[in-house]
């Protein structure tokens, strides 16, 4: 069967305009809910107070209700004596005795001010002598008193329609006595995951299958926006089953989301099913990266969307097209996204003809400016969106964005997240252990894996606190020290064993593996310390698979274990975890380059302490097979 192509790939803004012309996005009808269920809801009405708050003149502290003029001139040297009323005024009781001239009444915090009194003398400025109170400090009229209606007046509008109710607003509603409140009905969003490769978390896994992260991501994203997600499950590529599921979803929802099956490949049937709705598909294909295959549709005036199956693509297109619609249905205003200026840390190649959303992590440079590091994990990544600080829009007509170009970063949150320790460089399993130890010390850690050489460059520019490196100098046969430029200091880390790995049934030694031209290798990315070691091992050889360059030890192990490659170079710890046969090549030094002006920063000092001999962190690293370096 010949694969069908996109119906029509159009500009992002044109796609949104077409789709919105086909759907209704007005706020949903109101419903009445009890106050205890109103948190997070959107008000559908203006709320006016039917009482004064406070409802009476109230004492703000323990003391004595007095006429302020009777205290004028009081001091430690010349105290004023006032006769006490016979009643004491607690909270919740209406006083029965007025305060006459020269009189006073004992009153508790929150007590109702008696007639005649206009101020409170705090108890610490008084002494009681029999039926008199001795006042040693003057007060002014209104002192320590909250008058009726000064906070909220009867008839005053205290909250306006469209307000999202937080604990502050629900407190106001309680203060004016509202037991129930009218709120916008939450949009019900039906969610279907699709594809023969999908399995639910907890189910059996095998190569070729993927856990359904999109169902969880989309359900929780809908809930974060104030909607009610209804996850209907995952469905195989079966036309009848998909038709029945979409029909059921449309019965009782305000919006339907399908995940996967947007590219119209041989096994992708969602577009065929949604295309039979009326009016059906409005847009199929948008000039975006990630997210090109999104499908925007409608059933009647009800929005229906088929999101791409890859997680990053699904999340991006959800927030670009679907989230604004959910907000409007919920009665919320458009979300205001904060932006900051930054300098792109690495050169980035983009696809001409598509608006690209480039995920970036942010780090503050030594001069105070921000550096934006592309995450670079692709649309299939689950972690890229969760770890990114924001994204950069690369216009459709741009193919290359040079390093140090000023870019505008749209933040994922409301402000630039600042970590206590910024780590940019080579990643390692041991680094995860270090980050966990720092977290237990109450420190936040941001890790961006760009390789050893990228880390050194970042440290030189003052963009990180530490740069993990493991670079071998072929001339001196030394690790790291020969590469350290002026202004950086070396913090010794640990030794880890690099070696050649194969599946357990391959037992030949390294020389025999290199001599066998039928074997396929898996390489490492240029700029990594492991790549230097591999090139030294190979010399002039370029075996099959030499151009296959994943960016992590885990990816190398997976390629060998899953038979996409026959051998590769990784560390002993990862080989052991993956069940591979390991042949040691040499121990390497995994150290940390630190800018001199950051050596004594609190987080760096904490790291240095944690790495001291005999520490729990050192013992944890040793348990993973990493030998300490002094």
Helix/strand/coil (H/E/C) assignment for every residue in 228-250: EEEEEEEECCCHHHHHHHHHHHH
Residue among 313, 413, 399, 400 nearest 361 (CA): 413
Is 339-411 the same fold as 30-53+151-184?
no
CB atoms within 10 A of CB 377: 17
Q: Pairing mode, if any, of strands 472-473 and 478-479?
A: antiparallel
Query: Residue 268's pLDDT is what?
Result: 66
Reported in sequence order, the residue ranges of 248-315 that DSSP labels E, i.e. its strands, are 255-259, 279-284, 288-289, 295-299, 302-307
What is the residue extent of each domain of the chain? 12-26+192-329, 30-53+151-184, 58-146, 339-411, 419-630
Peptide bond into 279 cis (omega under 30): yes
Query: Residue 124's pLDDT is what?
Result: 95
CA 162 to chain centre: 25
Phi, psi angles (nearest 5°) of residue 391: -145, 155
Residue among 499, 497, 503 nearest 520 (CA): 503
Phi-psi region of 80 (alpha: psi -120 to 50; beta: other; left: phi over 0): beta
Locus of tokens 């009482």: 51
Phi, psi angles (nearest 5°) of residue 474: -60, -30
CA 181 to chain centre: 31
> Distance between CA atoms of 223 and 530, rounded to whole angstroms?
44
CA 256 to chain centre: 25
pLDDT tens sequence across 288-309? 888 888 999 999 999 999 998 8
Query: Residue 262's pLDDT is what?
Result: 52
The fold adopted by the segment(s) 339-411 is Beta-clip (2.40.340)
> Distance between CA atoms of 429 and 576, rounded to whole angstroms?
12
pTM: 0.79
Q: Pairing mode, if any, of strands 30-34 and 180-184?
A: antiparallel
Phi, psi angles (nearest 5°) of residue 573: -60, -45
- CATH architecture of residue range(s) 30-53+151-184: Alpha-Beta Complex (3.90)
> Distance between CA atoms of 220 and 385, rounded to whole angstroms?
14
Rounded to the nearest 10°, the torsion over CA 91, 97, 98, 102 is -100
Query: Residue 311's pLDDT is what?
Result: 86
Locus of tokens 């004064």: 52
Largest Cα–Cα distance of the chain, in whole Å?
A: 110
Query: Residue 313's pLDDT is what?
Result: 87
Locus of tokens 């969307």: 305
Pick the CATH number of 58-146 from 2.170.190.11, 1.10.1740.10, 3.40.50.920, 3.40.50.800: 2.170.190.11
Helix (H) or strand (E) holding 324: helix 323-329
Phi, psi angles (nearest 5°) of residue 507: -110, 5
Query: Residue 61's pLDDT is what?
Result: 96
> Distance between CA atoms of 619 and 137, rounded to whole angstroms?
65
If you ran DSSP here, which 8-state letter would residue 72 be given? T
* CATH 3.40.190.290 matches 419-630: yes
Query: Residue 1's pLDDT is what?
Result: 34
* Torsion sign across C-alpha atoms 409, 361, 418, 226: positive
Helix (H) or strand (E) holding 504: none
Which residue ranges of the chain lie beneath pLDDT 50?
Answer: 1-5, 264, 266-267, 380
Locus of tokens 């009153």: 107
Q: Are 262 and 271 in contact (CB under 8 A)?
A: yes
Residue among 244, 256, 293, 301 nearest 8 (CA): 293
The fold adopted by the segment(s) 12-26+192-329 is Molybdenum Cofactor Biosythetic Enzyme; Chain A (3.40.980)
Q: Are 182 and 286 in contact (CB under 8 A)?
A: no
Tokens of 304: 């229906």
Q: Are 350 and 399 in contact (CB under 8 A)?
A: yes
Kindly write down the DSSP assignment for every residue of 512-523, as one continuous string: HHHH-TT--EE-
> Distance between CA atoms of 469 and 626, rounded to whole angstroms?
15
Q: Are 611 and 618 in contact (CB under 8 A)?
A: yes
Q: Which SS3 state, helix, strand or coil, does residue 259 take? A: strand
Phi-psi region of 391 (alpha: psi -120 to 50; beta: other; left: phi over 0): beta
CA 124 to chain centre: 49
CB atoms within 10 A of CB 163: 19
Strand partners, 393: 357
CA angle 571, 495, 600 (to 5 degrees): 125
Those residues with Cβ within 8 angstroms of residue 537's Cβ, 6 or more apart along the chain or in another chain: 500, 510, 514, 569, 585
Peptide bond into 54 cis (omega under 30): yes
Spell out a b/e string for 417-455, using b for 16 or more CB atoms within 10 Å of the CB, else e: eebbbbbbbbbbbbbebbbebbeeeebebbbbbbbbbbb
């Amino acid at each position: 069967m010949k694969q069908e192509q996109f119906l029509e790939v159009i500009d992002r803004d044109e796609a949104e305009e077409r789709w919105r012309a086909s759907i209704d996005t007005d706020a949903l009808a109101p419903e009445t809910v009890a106050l205890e269920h109103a948190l997070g809801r959107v008000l559908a009405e203006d709320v006016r107070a039917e009482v004064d708050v406070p409802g009476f003149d109230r004492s703000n502290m323990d003391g004595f209700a007095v006429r302020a003029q009777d205290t004028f001139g009081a001091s430690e040297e010349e105290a004023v004596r006032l006769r006490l009323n016979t009643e004491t005024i607690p909270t919740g009781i209406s006083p029965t005795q007025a305060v006459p001239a020269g009189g006073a009444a004992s009153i508790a915090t929150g007590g109702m001010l008696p007639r005649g009194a206009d101020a409170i003398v705090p108890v610490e400025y008084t002494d009681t002598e029999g039926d008199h109170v001795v006042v040693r400090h003057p007060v002014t009229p209104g002192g320590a008193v909250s008058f009726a209606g000064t906070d909220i007046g009867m008839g005053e509008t205290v909250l306006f329609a469209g307000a999202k109710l937080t604990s502050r607003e629900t407190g106001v509603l309680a203060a004016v006595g509202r037991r129930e409140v009218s709120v916008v009905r939450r949009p019900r969003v039906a969610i279907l995951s699709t594809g023969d490769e999908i399995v639910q978390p907890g189910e059996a896994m095998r190569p070729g299958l993927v856990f359904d992260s999109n169902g969880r991501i989309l359900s929780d994203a809908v809930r974060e926006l104030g909607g009610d997600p209804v996850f209907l499950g995952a469905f195989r590529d079966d036309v009848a089953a998909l038709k029945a599921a979409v029909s059921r979803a449309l019965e009782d929802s305000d919006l339907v989301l399908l995940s996967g099956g947007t590219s119209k490949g041989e096994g992708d049937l969602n577009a065929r099913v949604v295309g039979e709705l009326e009016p059906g598909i409005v847009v199929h294909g948008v000039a975006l990266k990630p997210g090109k295959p999104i499908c925007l549709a409608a059933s009647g005036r009800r929005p229906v969307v088929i999101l791409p199956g890859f997680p990053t693509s699904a999340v991006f297109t959800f927030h670009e097209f679907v989230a604004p619609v959910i907000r409007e249905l919920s009665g919320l205003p458009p979300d205001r996204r904060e932006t900051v200026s930054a300098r792109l840390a690495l050169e980035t190649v983009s696809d001409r003809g598509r608006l690209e959303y480039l995920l970036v992590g942010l780090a503050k440079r030594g001069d105070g400016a921000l550096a934006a590091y592309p995450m670079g994990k692709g649309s299939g990544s689950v972690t890229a969106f969760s770890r990114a600080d924001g994204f950069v829009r690369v216009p459709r007509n741009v193919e290359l964005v040079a390093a140090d170009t000023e870019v505008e970063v749209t933040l994922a949150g409301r402000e630039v997240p600042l970590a206590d320790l910024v780590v940019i460089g080579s990643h390692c399993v041991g680094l995860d252990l270090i980050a966990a130890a720092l977290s237990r010390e109450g420190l936040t850690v941001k890790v961006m894996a760009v390789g050893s050489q990228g880390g050194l460059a970042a440290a030189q520019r003052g963009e990180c606190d530490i740069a993990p490196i493991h670079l071998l100098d072929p001339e001196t046969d030394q690790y790291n020290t020969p590469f350290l430029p002026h202004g950086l200091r070396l913090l010794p880390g640990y030794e880890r064993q690099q070696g050649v790995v194969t599946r357990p049934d391959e037992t030949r030694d390294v020389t025999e593996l290199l001599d066998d031209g039928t074997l396929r290798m898996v390489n490492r990315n240029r700029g990594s310390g492991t790549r230097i070691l591999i090139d030294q091992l190979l010399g002039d050889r370029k075996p099959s698979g030499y151009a296959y360059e994943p960016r992590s030890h885990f990816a190398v192990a997976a390629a060998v274990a899953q038979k996409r490659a026959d051998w590769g170079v990784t560390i002993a710890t990862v080989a052991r975890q993956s069940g591979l046969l390991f042949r040691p090549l040499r121990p390497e030094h995994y150290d940390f380059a630190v800018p001199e002006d950051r050596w004594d920063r609190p987080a760096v000092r904490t790291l240095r302490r944690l790495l001291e001999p005999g520490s729990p962190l050192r013992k944890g690293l040793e348990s993973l097979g990493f030998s300490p370096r002094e």
